[in-house]
Amino acid sequence: MANFKTFFGFVFSVLKRNKLYFVIKIFLAVIQGLFPVVTALLPQYLLDSILVDNNFTYFLGYVILFVCLQFSMPFLYSAIEIWLEKLLLKLNIAITDDMMDVLYGMKYEIYDNPENHNIISRSFAFSTGAGVNTFNAFLDAVALNIT
């Protein structure tokens, strides 16, 4: 239960510091989950427009949509991921600054204690790496469930 509390604490901390990162990551996970479904259904609509509707205009529209999606989505996804990495760097800097402020306020005796030092080291590791990886794994699971 403590792990869930830590995870949701991290998620709310991300949401508090950078709402745009949080919203875009969720939006990207939903799009990532829907993209395979759309690319699987478009050929069916493509064939239906030929065989059932016998409508060349719909056929041409589906072909253009299918080709555009196949070529543009990986490019857009990569561009958004690069932009999200920049936002993540800013987020990591903000979290590290907050943690450093707490550390500067500590007495040296507390910091010098090996048990406390171990807790501080784990906190830094979680806040800058493991928390983001856990959050991304959670969003990947959401994307897989959408598919």
The predicted pLDDT at position 46 comes to: 74
Question: Is 127 within 8 Å of 96 (Cβ atoms)?
Answer: yes
Give the pLDDT band (50/70/90) at residue 71.
confident
- 3-state SS class at 94: helix
Give the model confidence (pLDDT) of 10-53 as tens digits. Answer: 677 777 777 887 788 888 888 888 878 877 887 787 777 777 77
Q: Is the pLDDT of residue 1 over 60?
A: no
The predicted pLDDT at position 123 comes to: 74
Amino acid found at 36: P
Give the model confidence (pLDDT) of 94-146 as tens digits. Answer: 877 877 887 788 787 777 777 877 777 777 776 666 667 777 777 777 777 77
Q: Is the pLDDT of residue 4 over 70?
A: no
- 3-state SS class at 147: coil
pTM of the model: 0.63
